Amino acid sequence: MSQRSCLSVILAAGEGTRMKSALPKVLHQIAGLPMVAHVVKAAEAAGASGLALVIGHGADEMRKAAARFAPKAETFEQEKRLGTAHAVIAARAAISNGYDDVLVMFGDTPLIDADALTLARRRLAEGAAVVVIGFRPPNPTGYGRLIEKDGKLTAIREEKDCSEEEKKIGFCNAGMMAVAGAHALKLLDAVGNKNAKGEYYLTDIVEIASAQNLDVVATEASFESALGINNRVELAQAEAIWQQRRRYDAMLSGVTLIAPETVFFSHDTEIGADTIVEPNVWFGPGVRIASGAKIHAFSHIEGATIASNCDVGPFARLRPGADLRNKAKVGNFCEVKQAVIEDGAKVNHLTYIGDARVGAGANIGAGTITCNYDGYSKFFTDIGEGAFIGSNSSLVAPVTIGNGGYIASGSVITESVPDDALAFGRARQKTIPGKGKELRERFASAAAAKKKAAGADH
């Protein structure tokens, strides 16, 4: 089947009035990604090489969004909403390109499983002309029933048209279909609109195909995979299901989630084995975490890269561009944005580091801030390896603190500090060349003596 070409036609033209939103329904997000983009990902995972988005309400906004999540997709506008078959035929130009398989999907079913689509394609490869994807909801009331006979699907019956016996059928229409490309346009063009609403229904192709002695079969997807979103309640339900799946996968891949139900992932979160995530952590888009990290409770992380064995939080915020290298530490009530925290550096308490580099092994004291913005432009702060920034210091960018530089607590630093220098900025800045190195040697000697004395006491 891998050699069969496949087009996915995704219907995304509905207004979604029950969402009560100016935003097109299918652009509402699940795990930080528009729900229609989840559908696109599932289609691609099932082998779709062509994508056709049928749009309507908010067409310009849909095109702009599609350029981000499906740059290779063709868009087709359905100017009048005259039913599902009418929507599919809007993509006639794409369908006529001769694909072996045509998947018809809906932009408001973000949980669809690629395996369900792959199974439908497999039935096409085995000779079926139409494959309808069905599901078994807990309560089938309101859904169209799939009527089967001798292993073939003979009709899709709307509930209002069902007999009492047919209403007992629990196998229902999920709406999605796979159609053999060789028959797709012929079947679609045969759909009429002689019904109460005067619309063209995609489901009619089941009886049309059967009347032409073409094989029509049904496959089954899980209820969750077929869940359609019509309002904000269902949107929240889908989010909960998606998060539950992702937590499950993360734990099976070697991640410890101490309270899984309190951790929220984004659609693209990457997290390595042996990472421990404490309760109430939120991952926004663009987070990559290597193995062995520890993310403490109540941390908020987005657009950040966290290397092996880093320690983050509790109550830390990593904003886009935060780049923590091996064994770096960002502690409680700290915020890091567009900054590199190099190997073993520590940003422990009540600190803001933005547009900066913190060199390997440097220590940033409590209450330190990089003053990176003057109201108009951003400026860079460079903190060298092994530097020590005393508590409650303000580093006014652009400024460089050299390797081994030592900033006295409570300083406002407006001028660059050379390697191994001590800088005071409490009133007028005073810089003493070499004093930083002298202080470190004195403090190290005193610490060693204290340790030796403590050992003698025992």
Q: Which residues carry out catalysis? A: 349
- Sorted by sequence, the CB contacts under 8 Å of residue 389 that are 6+ apart come out as 362, 363, 364, 365, 368, 383, 395, 401, 407
| 144 closest CA partner among 214, 102, 201 | 201
287-308 CB burial, b ≥16 within 10 A, e <16: bebbebbbbbbbbbbbbbbbbb
Here the contacts of 392-396 (C-beta below 8 Å, separation 24 or greater) are 392/365, 392/366, 392/367, 392/368, 393/365, 393/367, 393/368, 393/369, 393/425, 394/368, 394/369, 395/368, 395/369, 395/370, 395/371, 396/371
Q: How many CA atoms lie within 13 A of 4 on its CB side?
A: 23
Please give the distance of CA 178 from its chain centroid, rounded to a whole number. 27
**Long-range pairs for 300-308 at CB < 8 Å and ≥24 separation?**
302/266, 304/336, 308/272
Question: What CA–CA distance (Å, rounded) separates 63 from 57?
Answer: 11
SS3 content of the chain, % helix, strand, coil (to 5): 25, 30, 45
The owner of tokens 């609109």 is: 193
Classify 101 as helix, strand or coil: strand
Tell me how far apart the alpha carbons of residues 193 and 200 are, in angstroms, rounded to a whole number. 5
C-beta pairs of 320-328 under 8 Å, 24+ apart in sequence: 320/286, 325/360
